[in-house]
Amino acid sequence: MINLEVPKKARTLVNQAYQAAAEVFRPISRKYDRAEHEYPTELDMLASLLDGLNTSGEGGAGAAGIRRKDGEKDTGNRNGGNLTTVLGAIEMCWGDVALLLSMPRQGLGNAAIASVANDEQLRRFAGTWAAMAITEPGCGSDSAAITATATRDGDSYVINGEKIFVTAGERADAVVVWATLDKAKGRAAIKSFVVEKGTPGFEVVRLEHKLGIRASDTAVLRFDNCRVPAENLLGSPDIETQKGFAGVMQTFDNTRPLVAAMAIGVARAALEETERLLAEAGVTVDYDRPANTQHAAAAAYLALEADYEAAYLLTLESAWMADNRKPNSLQASMAKAKAGRSVVDITLRCVELAGTLGYTEELLLEKWSRDAKILDIFEGTQQIQQLIVARRLLGKTSAELK
């Protein structure tokens, strides 16, 4: 059974992540929000520290996924790398979510590699900073509708297509590209490929200007007869109609709890700042009294905090299940849906509760409200998560419930 306390072995890492967020991220948060597309060089040393934590097996605080090892014996209740990484990500995003997304070698593509790569690929791409390219101009939430193609030609695959909204698409060393081997075979033919920067035919077309997470670059990529080695296909090259797409989708079982954790970190930052402002205004939040007997602002704060706690617990559950080798697709989507919606509601309400201060750049509240919206969108929108949850609960296939 899951224990709701932070595991003892994770407390050191959580504390280190908090210190990094407080001492590194927070002081430069506004600087790089204003200097969009400028690389935060302050992150290089911190990234090296996270590399050491990941290599040691302790789990980092970044966005890298955790590999589930086959053949492991069930040793009972386990608090492993998934839970540790989620807890670390919460702390780092309390500092700044865009700066976490800008961390070298902590990209969402690294989670894809961790999820479906074989042992040889894990060794070969160790130390690679990998972005993940899924979304296309005509394909957003429906990942199965991908039109980018990968055609086998001798010992290579030739990739053609365009990808949009690629986080760290310019800065990363490589991009994990989702493409289809055969459009006629549907979902089962979709595979992921590691395409390294500098590969002929791979072009960064432009960088987007965004509402939030401005410290993180978001790129449009084009692949024009881009030839990659066959061994860069992650996982099996076979088209298996029963499980082909499942191997690729396993990536989301790792990344959705991480995105939920990012949302929780931002929400907590906004709640703590709002509680401080309320206290300065003479409004005390009393946990021993019913909300309807307190100041209206305190009652509103209590409701927001309850929403936060629900998202937090769902996220811990989904990560704990992954550590204990339990299928967590349903829980990962529930956590992502709840945390994504909650962080938007919480940050906007906190801006409101803070009055004029909340709408100015004097505080970070307005920035957090802008950063929050993407956490409800990427890695599967709110609506897609609800659809996945409904399918899992009702036992329906994607064809039966659209």
Q: Which residues are catalytic?
A: 379
Q: Which two tokens stand for residue 94?
A: 């309390």
Q: Give the count of beta carbons closer than 10 Å to the beta carbon of residue 399.
A: 6
Q: Which residue has the tokens 């937090």?
A: 312
Minimal CA–CA distance to 200: which of 158, 171, 234? 158
> Under DSSP, is residue 98 helix (H, G, I), strand (E, B) or coil?
helix
Burial of 140 (0-12, 13-18, 19+ CB in 10 A): middle
Q: Which two tokens stand for residue 355?
A: 């009055």
Query: How large is the angle between the packed helices 11-20 and 81-95, nearest 10 degrees?
Result: 20
Rounded distance between C-alpha atoms, residue 365 and residue 166, angstroms: 26
Rounded distance between C-alpha atoms, residue 33 and residue 215, angstroms: 5
CB proximity list for 19: less than 8 A, separation 6 or greater: none
Rounded distance between C-alpha atoms, residue 14 and residue 17, angstroms: 5
- Residue at 343: amino acid letter: V
Task: For residue 128, give the H/E element and its range.
Answer: none
Rounded distance between C-alpha atoms, residue 54 and residue 129, angstroms: 13
Q: Are strands 130-133 and 174-180 parallel, antiparallel or unpaired?
A: parallel
